[in-house]
């Protein structure tokens, strides 16, 4: 038995969109200071203008990512208050680290944006470097929580439930998951810029060659990051052997398993999307016909974002109906803990049609605004 379908849909949508935007957030926060540094080194006003335009969209992306992140958290708290209470108690250290860094990140974004051209370029670039660094520290904390949900390393029940942070960070699924996430974000962000600049190229007039240079530059970055993501993704897949339930659900018949829930079709879809990205990068870098270059460049970004969404859904749903992907561990816990770690025990007070209607009413304009933001991002 799985979670109620409306509950699963709301949580999946809000979490999936949040993760897509967080991936763009991490990549843009890295590329913007690099583009500023590059423009200063080359004394290229075009690159400086691009960096400033990207900063506007980065700030918007960060804000909307926070909205969907809050929506995801509220949904979890509404439908699974026991799980939130237990997870918050056990993993307060990585959660606390992530929240602290979120506050620091907001401060660096404000300083970087409003102090542009008002302080020395070296200090401004230093602020940008801190802004970029915080983008990697936030998922460091959250991926530690996700790794704990794969394998509850460091969990001790006596004398009372607590988490040994050192043991938790030694979780075999943590480091590959974190590194896969980092390079996946860089790949997705790079290829979204490839698509954005290829569309801008078509109406850029005398600046077309400069945009084409950016398309090829970010295609190279995207290709390298994508390759590293695949390598760390393979490591992560192997690490999941410690939780056969989740491993078998992900790979299903591909490894000759008979899983409880076969998501191998979703894994195959993700691999197809990854292959599309590699083909797009190849044609952008090696294509002889400009129409092929621009055509494949337009495909790269959407394929990258779809890969991010597909990967997160695969990682999330392959362990349901357990919040912790080791059923034997869940069933060995006291009944109160066991009920908190099952997605089938949704809060009956929240699992009502009226709530779903209200949620849909608010989600529709939010999704429309997010779509408009991406449209403007691709056009400017």
* Domain boundary assignment for the chain: 5-379
pLDDT of residue 309: 95
The number of angstroms, rounded, from the C-alpha of 158 to the middle of its chain's C-alpha atoms is 35
Alpha helices in the chain (DSSP H): 5-42, 45-79, 81-90, 92-114, 121-150, 165-169, 174-201, 208-239, 244-251, 264-286, 290-317, 327-332, 335-340, 353-379
The number of angstroms, rounded, from the C-alpha of 100 to the middle of its chain's C-alpha atoms is 19
In whole angstroms, give the CA distance from residue 61 to residue 78. 25
pLDDT of residue 213: 92
pLDDT of residue 235: 97
In whole angstroms, give the CA distance from residue 334 to residue 215. 56
Residues of the chain below pLDDT 50: none
pLDDT of residue 220: 96
Count of residues making up the chain: 380
pLDDT of residue 2: 64
pLDDT of residue 362: 80
pTM of the entire structure?
0.91
**In Å, what is the CA distance from 40 to each residue of 111, 113, 350?**
19, 17, 54
- pLDDT tens for 137-169 read 888 888 888 998 999 887 777 777 777 778 878
């Amino acid at each position: 038995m799985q979670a109620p379908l409306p509950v699963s849909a709301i949580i999946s949508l809000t979490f999936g969109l949040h993760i897509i935007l967080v991936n763009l957030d991490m990549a843009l926060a890295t590329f913007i200071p690099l583009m500023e540094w590059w423009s200063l080194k080359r004394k290229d006003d075009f690159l400086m203008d691009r960096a400033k335009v990207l900063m506007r969209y980065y700030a918007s992306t960060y804000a909307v990512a926070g909205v969907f992140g809050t929506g995801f958290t509220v949904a979890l708290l509404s439908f699974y208050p026991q799980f939130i209470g237990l997870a918050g108690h056990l993993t307060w250290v990585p959660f606390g680290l992530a929240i602290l860094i979120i506050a620091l990140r907001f401060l660096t974004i404000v300083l970087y944006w409003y102090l542009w051209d008002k302080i020395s370029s070296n200090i401004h670039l230093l602020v940008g470097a801190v802004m970029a660094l915080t983008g990697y520290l936030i998922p460091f904390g959250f991926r530690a929580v996700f790794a704990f949900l794969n394998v509850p390393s460091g969990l001790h029940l006596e004398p009372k439930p607590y988490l040994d942070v050192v043991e938790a960070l030694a979780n075999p699924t943590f480091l590959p998951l974190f590194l896969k996430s980092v390079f996946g974000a860089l790949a997705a962000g790079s290829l979204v810029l490839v698509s954005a600049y290829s569309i801008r190229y078509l109406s850029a007039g005398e600046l077309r060659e400069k945009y084409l240079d950016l398309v090829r530059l970010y295609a190279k970055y995207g290709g390298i990051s994508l390759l590293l993501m695949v390598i760390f993704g393979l490591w992560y897949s192997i690490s999941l052997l410690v939780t056969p339930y989740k491993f078998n659900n992900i790979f299903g018949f591909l490894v000759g398993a008979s899983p409880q829930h076969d998501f191998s079709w979703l894994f195959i879809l993700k691999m197809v999307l990854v292959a599309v990205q590699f083909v797009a990068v190849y044609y952008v870098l090696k294509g002889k016909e400009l129409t092929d270059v621009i055509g494949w460049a337009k495909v790269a970004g959407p394929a990258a974002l779809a890969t991010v969404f597909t990967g997160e859904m695969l990682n999330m749903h392959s362990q349901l109906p357990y919040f912790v992907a080791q059923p034997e561990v869940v069933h060995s816990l006291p009944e109160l803990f066991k009920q908190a770690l099952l997605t089938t025990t949704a809060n009956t007070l929240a699992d009502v049609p009226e709530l779903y209607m209200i949620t849909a009413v608010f989600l529709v304009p939010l999704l429309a605004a997010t779509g408009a933001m991406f449209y403007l991002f691709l056009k400017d």
